[in-house]
Amino acid sequence: MQEKLHLKQHPGIDPPSFTTKISEVGDGVVYLEDSYCYPRGGGQPGDRGTISKNGNISKMNEVLPGEKIIHPVDNSDIFQKGDLVKCEIDRLWRNKNTVMHTAQHVFSAIANDMYGAETVGNQISENTTRIDLWFPDRDAFDSSDILNQVNSIFKNGADVLIHEWSREEILSHENMRHTKFLDRIPATVDVLRVVEIEGIDLCPCGGTHVSNVREIPSIDIESVRSKGSGKLRITYS
């Protein structure tokens, strides 16, 4: 069973280089016995970097999800099952995505508190994040007000904590957000990872996060677009 070590690393910045063995080689991909790499998901891009063996280095492209984490590489033919390899994760890429993921949690939480808005989609890209929100009353949204609230939280700070809670604990907690997707997770998985931003947000999440929101720089809203009845797409950087 592959150990997905990124779930245990917190804070999620500056991921370590690590040594492990190749468990399987496919066409343009390798599978590792253990991995600190974050696979694409939850709106957060997957890690990228390099995998090397005895001085032979291959670029590792965006890591993808699966029953086993998929590590796409440029030169899979230099690897064999059982090889001892070193994986280096691009720290600048991971750190940027980690900061933006925690920022998205704060933005979504404040939109929910201020307007009753539900986050129905989000995606972190190279320089921006976009969030799709559904509002009971879309006309109530004020981009200046929410921006001031969110940036004030970043300035004042709040600790980010990681918990492992049972499905029952998650569903019964009165302050838990974003539980609708839980039915997509097999019922055999009973213990799930929960991210808490103290006093601000509490929700299931497998992504990487900073240790305190004070580490997040202030954001600016780039655009607000209609996405149909009751929905807005907010893009910020």
**Which CATH number does the domain housing residue 155 bear?**
3.30.980.10
- Asked if 173 and 197 touch (Cβ cutoff 8 Å), the reply is no
What's the predicted TM-score (pTM) here?
Answer: 0.96
Same domain, 126 and 219: yes
192 & 226 share domain: yes
What CA–CA distance (Å, rounded) separates 220 from 123? 16
Residue at a domain's end among 55, 89, 123: 89
Domain shared by 16 and 129, yes or no: no
- In this structure, the answer to whether residues 109 and 77 fall within a common structural domain is no
> pLDDT at residue 33 above 90?
yes
Three-state DSSP state, 103: helix
Same domain flag for 105 and 199: yes
- pLDDT digit string, tens, across residues 181-212: 888 777 778 899 999 999 999 999 999 999 99
- Average pLDDT on 129-155 reads 97
Q: Are residues 42 and 122 in the same domain?
A: no
The closest of 185, 196, 188 to 163, measured between CA atoms, is 196
Q: How many domains does the chain have?
A: 2
Question: Mean pLDDT over residues 41-56, rounded?
Answer: 97
Average pLDDT over residues 4-15: 95
Tokens of 28: 């343009």
Distant-in-sequence, close-in-space partners of 141: CB < 8 Å, separation ≥ 6: 115, 117, 133, 135, 224, 232
Q: From CA 84, how far away is CA 34, in angstroms rounded? A: 12
23, 56, 89 - which closes a domain: 89
Could you identify the residue written with the tokens 């609230």?
Answer: 149
Q: Which amino acid is at 83?
A: D
Same-domain pairing of 53 and 109:
no
Check whether residue 62 and residue 164 sit in a common domain: no
Q: Report the pLDDT averaged over residues 47-74.
A: 97
Task: Decide which of 25, 58, 89 is a domain's last residue.
Answer: 89
The span from the CA of 11 to the CA of 155, in Å, is 19
Q: In this structure, are 166 and 218 located in the same domain?
A: yes
Cβ atoms 89, 49 nearer than 8 A: yes
Going across the sheet that includes 160-166, the strands are: 160-166, 191-197, 201-204
The reply to whether 49 and 76 lie within a common domain is: yes
CATH of the domain at 84: 2.40.30.130
Residues 116 and 185 in one domain: yes
pLDDT tens digits along 89-140: 999 999 999 999 999 999 999 999 999 999 999 999 999 999 999 999 999 9
Expressed as residue numbers, the domain containing 169 is 94-236
pLDDT at 185: 79
Q: Are residues 129 and 146 in the same domain?
A: yes
pLDDT at residue 59 in the model:
98
The predicted model gives 148-170 an average pLDDT of 97
